[in-house]
Amino acid sequence: MAKKALITGITGQDGPYLAEFLLSKGYEVFGFVRRLSTPNITNIHHLKNKIQLVSGDLLDQGSIMGALLETKPDEVYNLAAQSFVESSWKQPVLTGEFTALSVTRMLEAVRLVDRNIRFYQASSSEMFGKVTETPQKETTRFYPRSPYGVAKVYGHYITVNYRESYNMFAVSGILFNHESPRRGIEFVTRKISNSVARISLGLSDSLELGNLDSKRDWGFAGDYVEAMWLMLQQDHADDYVIATGENHSVREFVELAFKIVGITDWEKYVRANHPKHLRPAEVDNLIGDYSKAREKLGWQPKTSFPELVEMMVKADIEKEKKTM
Ligand code: NDP
Ligand code: GDR
């Protein structure tokens, strides 16, 4: 019998990559979607005959339980969240409801419906925030710097707590930033790749950014979903850092993206330190140590930083050309 997986956050960036990966492993895949006046199907359109959608909302306990009863999954991947750090200062309570408390709603649903379901929680390097150790690993102390980071710390610990309280197979994957052509347009990498594409095609002449000095450990989302799956295939539930072990500044990302379209004097297009994009508390420098994942899961990243930037810029050029 094919294994069954339920993915929350199927319409986001990671959901479709995970769905594609699980389909390639022979899984039956279900996506948990909330009702929107206009459905957000851009990233899952190509999967419409391959996966099944069940409706529900992270805020609605009954709908989560209903989805589990209806689909009877072997594995649940909890990817849904309010995931944009910048918005989390504008909507801190909502971020807490979606990104923190909903993890308890999900875990409670699993506990009540079927404790044998294996559960993956999408935790984040934002939990390390103002870092207390470099590089960051599973044992590094958390010091979140945003309402989003605080909410993810709650999600992490409630996952560990359900594992320890009820002996559930619940894991927390501490993933560093991962990007792709499917990234939401407000995140810095996609904002840059899209603007660079538009500038190169003569559709725009400027790019407004915030802090160019912050550094992130950027990987490719397509590589990271395999690690989520591997975590649920182990004999014992445990938590893992997933990263590339390399970091780059926003400035380096900008420079490389412009270079790909043949522009070297990129400064004339970029307005940095735009107040709208400066955060009340910044995370300056993240870099992950994924040695535990390499040793125990046999996982390692496949896509380099230059390959990632090129993939994103080229995909945006193709998308923008279609609108011309
Ligand atoms: P996205 O922001 O692209 O996707 C978020 C998803 O959550 C969307 O499908 C959205 O659905 C769904 N969602 C939001 N609110 C609700 C709700 N109330 N009920 C049901 N669904 C809801 O995130 P990513 O794919 O980038 O990330 C996946 C997860 O991994 C997130 O939890 C994120 O915080 C975490 N993470 C991401 C990292 C990254 O670099 N990408 C790094 C570390 C952790 P809708 O279409 O309806 O808005
Ligand atoms: P992050 O990603 O906050 O790391 O969270 P984001 O791309 O939003 O910011 C990365 C860094 O770039 C700086 N920056 C800007 N950011 C945005 N969005 N827009 C700008 O114009 C801009 N200019 C500079 C930011 O200040 C920051 O330092 C992402 C999300 O996917 C989270 O859900 C996830 O948990 C973490 O990655 C790991």
Q: Measured in whole angstroms, how far is the alpha carbon of residue 136 from the centre of its chain?
A: 18
Find the 267 Cα to ligand 2 centroid distance in Å: 20
Find the 188 Cα to ligand 2 centroid distance in Å: 5
Give the model confidence (pLDDT) of 71-113 as tens digits: 999 999 999 999 999 999 999 999 999 999 999 999 999 999 9
Average pLDDT for 267-275? 97
Give the model confidence (pLDDT) of 182-236 as tens digits: 999 999 999 999 999 999 999 999 999 999 999 999 999 999 999 999 999 999 9
pLDDT over threshold 90, residue 126? yes
pLDDT over threshold 90, residue 308? yes
- What integer pLDDT is reported at residue 136 of this predicted model? 98
Find the 189 Cα to ligand 2 centroid distance in Å: 8
9 lines ligand 1 (CB under 6 A): yes
Please check whether residue 206 is in contact with residue 270, taking contact to mean a CB–CB distance below 8 angstroms.
yes
Tell me the β-bridge partners of 31: 7, 53
Nearest Cα residue to atom 44 of ligand 1: 124
| Ligand 2: nearest atom to the Cα of 124 | 35
- What integer pLDDT is reported at residue 186 of this predicted model? 98
| Ligand 1: nearest atom to the Cα of 182 | 3
Find the 209 Cα to ligand 2 centroid distance in Å: 11
Find the 85 Cα to ligand 2 centroid distance in Å: 7
What is the pairing mode between strands 215-216 and 248-249? Answer: antiparallel
Q: Measured in whole angstroms, how far is the alpha carbon of residue 269 from the centre of its chain?
A: 29
317 lines ligand 1 (CB under 6 A): no
User: 89, 156, 177, 241: which to mutate for ligand 2, most atoms within 8 A of CB?
Assistant: 177
pLDDT over threshold 90, residue 152? yes
- What integer pLDDT is reported at residue 265 of this predicted model? 96
Find the 302 Cα to ligand 1 centroid distance in Å: 23
Structural domains of the chain, ranges and CATH numbers in brackets: 4-178+218-242 (3.40.50.720), 184-216+248-282+304-323 (3.90.25.10)
User: 10, 79, 123, 308: which to mutate for ligand 1, most atoms within 8 A of CB?
Assistant: 79
Nearest Cα residue to atom 4 of ligand 2: 177
Find the 177 Cα to ligand 2 centroid distance in Å: 8
pLDDT over threshold 90, residue 118? yes
Average pLDDT for 54-73? 98
- What integer pLDDT is reported at residue 229 of this predicted model? 98
- What integer pLDDT is reported at residue 1 of this predicted model? 87
- What integer pLDDT is reported at residue 144 of this predicted model? 98
Round to whole Å and give the CA distance between 52 and 11: 12
Average pLDDT for 15-40? 97
